[in-house]
Structure 1
Amino acid sequence: MSPTVRSKREPTPQQRRNRKLGLICTAVFCGMVGAAYASVPLYRMFCQVTGFDGTVGRAEAAPVAVSNQAVTVRFDANTRELPFTFTAEQTSQEVRLGETKIAFFRVVNNSDKPVTARATFNVVPEQAGGYFKKLQCFCFNDQTIGAGQSVDMPVLYFVDPKFAEDFETRGKREITLSYTFFPATDAPAATPQS
């Protein structure tokens, strides 16, 4: 009997296992890279839907019912690495749960050239994030402020009446809405005037 001769094209069992392992490793690597790119938008979406970490949700319409219970909403404005003066036009507002309110913020570009920036926000206490809803906001959109320009920016919001029913927020009577302006990531950073 003559020994069986394998064709050069037919892989050995060891080669098949190695190819299978290589394909699995490649698929895992591609999946991890995809997850890394998707993690930021997915985390942002998760926070906006759940109010996690004090993230404010967006709403299409205000609630129909307005409660007699009220909370005080305080406003905070900050900048990071920008030649801006950024302030809240009001320090606080009394708002009944379900009532639509408008608050104004003013930003002044103190430099001699236009600056593009973006505002991010959060709410304290964090548990209130799921109940604080924005109908209109200047946040998460790039804002280009001209040299020396002053701009008033509105925020139209309400606090969901369910705020009073949640065991984590029941009895809390104060919410702080905080905005921070950062340089837009795709715009060149401006230097403050001396």
Structure 2
Amino acid sequence: MAMDGKTKTVAQLVGVATFMGAMAWASVPLYDWFCAVTGYGGTTGTAEAGSGEVLDREITVRFDANVEAGMPWEFKPVEPEMTVKIGQDGLAFYEAYNPTDEPIAGQAGYNVAPFVAGSHFSKVQCFCFTEQVLMPGERVQMPVSFFVDPAIVDDPDTRKLNHITLSYTFYEIDLPEDVQESLDEGSQSAANVN
């Protein structure tokens, strides 16, 4: 059965639309993977352990903290910067405070500047790997364990860097289901007592 011109055109347009939808759906994970592998856009790497090699050259890591508009948390680095040897394990802390009377969940996005340093900055452990929940009035210190890869001195784009800025922005997210269920159960128990 042969297709007429209109049917063929409609079939082609449906095919193009389906292909474009599939590419849009796949673009975010592919972009995230690309950034993680290349350090593009200041995306940092992750590591299971420290570098194992420490150079006799220091670099200063500055710490920056932000919250999205409307996020009520107070968020700041405990220390504004530290100087570490390249390859040395560093441990920094950020402090978050929930001044409200409601539990609030947050997830941190992050990057480093200058962007070209992203592929040479690795985090071993970080509060940004998981969502954080702060109860009303709760204040916490959250660690980030990191190192600057010794390969930074061999990269023509980064070998003269003397400082890197690690920046986080907290975004409000929905409370995790288990936390919400626990709060709902607590509310029902309190209502039953009264």
Structure 1 counterpart of 2:150, from 154, 161, 183: 161
Structure 1 counterpart of 2:120, from 131, 139, 164: 131
Partner Cα distance (2:89, 2:139) in 1: 26
Instruction: Please say if 1:73 is aligned against 2:61.
Output: yes
CA contact (8 A) 1:120 1:140 kept: no
Partner Cα distance (1:21, 1:177) in 2: 51
TM-score (norm 1): 0.84
Structure 2 counterpart of 1:87, from 76, 80, 89: 76
Partner Cα distance (2:51, 2:106) in 1: 32
Gaps of 5+ in 2: 176-194
Look up the match of 2:105.
116
* TM-superposed deviation, 1:20: 4.1
Name the amino acid aligned to 1:148: G
* TM-superposed deviation, 1:25: 2.3
Alignment deviations for residues 64-116 of structure 1 (CA, whole Å, 9 cap, x no partner)? 21111110001011112211111111111111111111111110001000011
TM-score (norm 2): 0.84
> Which range moves more in the overlay, 119-128 or 18-27?
18-27
Look up the match of 2:85.
96
Partner Cα distance (2:165, 2:154) in 1: 19
Name the amino acid aligned to 2:105: T
- For residues 1-194 of structure 1, the aligned pairs below 5 Å read 10-11=1-2, 15=4, 18-80=6-68, 81-184=70-173, 186=174
- Give the number of the structure whose alpha-carbon radius of gyration is greater: 1
Partner Cα distance (2:117, 2:86) in 1: 12
Partner Cα distance (1:178, 1:163) in 2: 19
CA contact (8 A) 1:110 1:147 kept: yes
* TM-superposed deviation, 1:171: 1.3
* TM-superposed deviation, 1:122: 1.0
Question: Alignment partner of 2:26: what SS?
Answer: helix
Partner Cα distance (2:48, 2:13) in 1: 44
Look up the match of 2:189.
none
Name the amino acid aligned to 2:100: S
User: Identity of counterpart residues, as a percentage?
Assistant: 41
CA RMSD of aligned residues (A): 1.8
* TM-superposed deviation, 1:62: 1.8
* TM-superposed deviation, 1:27: 2.0
* TM-superposed deviation, 1:140: 4.9
Partner Cα distance (2:10, 2:50) in 1: 54
